[in-house]
Structure 1
Amino acid sequence: MAPASNLDLSGSAVLVVGMARSGRAAAALARDLGARVTTTDLRHGLPPVEGCRAVHGRHDETDFTGADLVIVSPGVPASAPLLQAARRAGATVVGELGFAAGLLQDLPALCVTGTNGKSSTCHFLGQLLQAAGRRPFVGGNFGVPLSELARRRLGERLDVDVLVLEVSSYQLELPGALRPAAAAVLNLTPDHLGRHGDMAGYAAAKRVLLERSAGPAWLPTDLSAMAAGIRAPVRWLDAHPGVRAVGDRLIFEGVDDDGPVDLSGLPLPGIHNRANVAAACALALSLGIRREQLVVDALTPLAHRLETVGVVDDVRWVNDSKATNVEAALAGIRALPEARLVLLGGEGKPGADYGALRPALAGREVIAFGASGPEIHAVLGGHAAPTLGAAVALARRIARPGDTVLLSPACASFDEFSDFEDRGRRFADLVHHPSTDPALESP
């Protein structure tokens, strides 16, 4: 039985693939809509979702070919053979974000994608909208899955009037009902090429967001090729029509409210943060917010993004654990020229060019750690430590009063931790509770 709509799945067979947080939220939403829900994940021992049949530790093809609707977590490629089998059998295949968006189409969605800066831009945009009197939901690819908000709508009146959504390239493979009121692609550097094949495939995935936008499509001029053929009005994040940074001001031209936005009181360090704030302001203006309503002086950063976690013995410790690739680490290092000690390491991405960090690290001391520590040490020199705990202990020994120690890893965290947030929390704990790990190594 084909599902009548996203609003009524009564009697429909729904399969949810992938049981991380977004998958669990989608399964609960489909169950609440009346579907017969099966969840599947190759991992063993996952807790079931109440009211759903669980097939964990394996995938059964009959679950795919017998489903009316298959809801896919972002980590599962749209080209997976079992998803192709489901399509051939007549199933609708959609991502979690696109599924939930079908229940929230009356709310304008401001969507952000790109390689770096997505989460911070969404975080800033949510603050700007709230200060302007709007009631934003901020989530999607980070924080709260959109399916959790859609579930709230079923049981209560939502105190939300606009969606601010971070959207990944994985989510854009199966976008479903996602239709932005305005969208931005912040930047594009090599990432996720194992999934998308090459930069052309990666860019094509990101372009989907612009193709679906009903309102302004924002992007930098170095990505102008992505704008070819876009029906939405194109606006530039570094030129006019759009926005340009001139000194301590953003100058908007060719938008609904032309003129300057003063950044002289912006409390966030780094050129990258100014770029993220520019994108956030651009999307706010696209929704009809006026320039005089944009309160940038009170913006605060997300956790794990250039976050000072403590000053101990007159040494400042800064957590930039979200810097999981070279480009993000470079932005963090440049934003803190006072950081004399920089901790780099974790599980590096294939082909990472750590040599690109060398100019920004001139005059600083590097401590390389983790699975990619030996590779980083071979390229950049400095000190080496086997673990984050050992790296923090070594930094504590080297640091002098007045120094700043920056964790900006340039690597993923999966060699030691569940994610970058887990790594950032451990870093903060180590700062305040010195490690007893004796496994230090210095060349």
Structure 2
Amino acid sequence: MRLVVLGGGESGVGTAILGKKKGYDVFVSDFGKIKANYKEVLIINGIAWEEGTHTEDLILNADVVMKSPGIPEKKSPIVKKLLKKGIPVISEIEFAIPFTKAITIAITGSNGKTTTTMLTYHLLKSAGLNVGLGGNIGKSFAWQVADDKFDSYVLELSSFQLDGIKHYKPHIAIITNISPDHLDRYDYKYEKYIDSKFRITMNQTEEDFLIYDADDEAIAEWLKNNKTKAQLIPFSLTKTFEMGAFIKNKSMEVNIINEEEFTMETETMALEGKHNMKNAMAATSVAKLMKIRNTTIRESLSNFQGVEHRLEKVLKIQNVQYINDSKATNVNATFFALDSMNTPTVWIVGGVDKGNDYNELMSLVREKVKAIICLGVDNRKIIDVFGNVVDMMVEVNSMEDAVKMAQRLAEKGDTVLLSPACASFDLFENYEDRGNQFKKAVKHL
């Protein structure tokens, strides 16, 4: 069997290693450059590879192709040719899952999926479970399956990874929320993106579970018009359920069939903000399904450290709090960030716009934002929408300038918030680079 891997990054190299271990004839092809450390791994394992090109003769003879999630199938000529020939093009998760007996917990959503994934992993690991972490985070899932050490995995899955599954079914699936994102990959049709997220539950059976945000319109609409066999576990900030998770009298309650009810005062949790209450309800629902004791869950919820670049408190300087929310790459994520601000805010925003509608933020900007610093190559849309709403609006083209300007505009008791609502590729390598540059600039003030 010939396995061709398109993309020589973490998921590609992990898949190649698993394929080789399982007896496949493996070839890795990357149209860009493969990082030196990954090349070394491929060479040590005797895996053939190429970079800077896709040699058709070495690719179109594949029995199966694993495509890295970053390659858009509609735009990639080689993927189009593979599909035309009827060669299966699948994701890393789909390729790896037959080679493990481990239980998987899969988490998707437009926002909150990283925090929910990390919190779920933290809850299970703290309880002593032999659990791995993969998908969009950390070490490749396929690579971990090749080493085969874990009884269960918590996987963060993007819509791109879900597009490449055919038979994969998680025992527990979570959809944190759905808001317009990556629409350029879905013909600018929101319905297609929503359907893509719900692929997470398409193979689930009556023995499996789907945990979801019952306050989310797109999710509610899909569930009204479509069926899943999975047992449904909703969570909500406003509704209560016989089976599900909810907030009542400043307390989080989680009721799962045949399990002792879980309650915890929300103010004793490490995470702050309404969106984090939702992330906590989703993660706690998993912990209850995995039969973890209430005392262990409470302890883990109160000592969780949060996720880097997501509402990360950097420093307080002259009584001004600097917050790094570089992971907010869409309007919905920035909405949550602004919503959790309790002081006058100097907001650093901008980057590569993915078709954003900034009007959704209007009421929050009016209420909370005193100044806007635009950090992007093209800030026209932001200026058009908010130009008359805030007292001060400035354009800068480096993170250092943005932070220095923010320091000038902020007064004692204010917050400086980096929450860009955009992708980072105009001025930075990725959102991590953007967040790290912000932290560095703040530390140099």
TM-score by length of 1: 0.87
Could you list the per-position Cα deviations for residues 78-112 of structure 1 after superposition, in whole angstroms to 9, with x for gaps in the alignment? 555634543565644321122222222x1111111
8 Å Cα contact 2:167/2:203 also seen in 1: no
Q: 1:108 and 2:103 equivalent?
A: yes
1:259 maps to amino acid: E
Alignment equivalent of 1:313, drawn from 314, 318, 323: 318
Aligned partner of 2:129 in structure 1 is 134
Alignment equivalent of 1:411, drawn from 422, 436, 439: 422
Alignment equivalent of 2:195, drawn from 185, 197, 204: 204
8 Å Cα contact 2:103/2:151 also seen in 1: yes
8 Å Cα contact 1:22/1:145 also seen in 2: yes
Aligned-partner SS, 2:89: strand
Alignment equivalent of 2:222, drawn from 219, 223, 226: 226
Aligned-partner SS, 1:76: coil
Offset of residue 290 of structure 1 = 4.0
Distance 2:336 2:34 in 1: 40
Aligned partner of 2:151 in structure 1 is 161
Aligned partner of 1:39 in structure 2 is 28
Unaligned runs of 5+ residues in structure 2 are none
Q: 1:302 and 2:293 equivalent?
A: no
Offset of residue 58 of structure 1 = 2.3
Q: 1:326 and 2:326 equivalent?
A: no
Aligned partner of 1:75 in structure 2 is 70
Unaligned runs of 5+ residues in structure 1 are 1-11, 435-443
Q: 1:243 and 2:248 equivalent?
A: no
Aligned partner of 2:287 in structure 1 is 284
Distance 2:282 2:203 in 1: 18
Q: How many residues align?
A: 416
Distance 2:71 2:385 in 1: 34
Aligned-partner SS, 1:358: helix
Distance 1:90 1:383 in 2: 53
Decide which moves more: 234-243 or 269-278. Answer: 234-243
Offset of residue 260 of structure 1 = 3.8
Q: 1:355 and 2:366 equivalent?
A: no
Mapping for residues 371-390 of structure 1, pairs under 5 Å? 371-381=377-387, 382-384=392-394, 385-390=396-401
8 Å Cα contact 2:210/2:230 also seen in 1: yes
Q: Provide closer, same or farther for how the CA distance between residues 212 and 261 of structure 1 changes in structure 2, counting only shifts above 3 A.
A: farther
Distance 1:347 1:390 in 2: 18
Aligned-partner SS, 1:230: coil
Q: Percent identity?
A: 30
Distance 2:195 2:56 in 1: 30
Aligned-partner SS, 1:70: strand
Q: 1:344 and 2:337 equivalent?
A: no
Mapping for residues 362-441 of structure 1, pairs under 5 Å? 362-363=367-368, 364-381=370-387, 382-384=392-394, 385-434=396-445
Decide which moves more: 361-370 or 114-123. Answer: 361-370
8 Å Cα contact 1:251/1:260 also seen in 2: yes
Q: 1:216 and 2:220 equivalent?
A: no
Offset of residue 14 of structure 1 = 1.6
Decide which moves more: 46-55 or 64-73. Answer: 46-55
Distance 1:242 1:46 in 2: 45
Could you list the per-position Cα deviations for residues 387-427 of structure 1 after superposition, in whole angstroms to 9, with x for gaps in the alignment? 32211110122222333211111111111111111111111
1:128 maps to amino acid: L
2:192 maps to amino acid: G
Offset of residue 173 of structure 1 = 1.2
Distance 1:192 1:387 in 2: 25
2:99 maps to amino acid: L
Distance 2:57 2:280 in 1: 48
Aligned-partner SS, 2:303: coil
Could you list the per-position Cα deviations for residues 285-311 of structure 1 after superposition, in whole angstroms to 9, with x for gaps in the alignment? 222224343122112211111111122
Could you list the per-position Cα deviations for residues 192-233 of structure 1 after superposition, in whole angstroms to 9, with x for gaps in the alignment? 212123121111111111122341112233323433321111
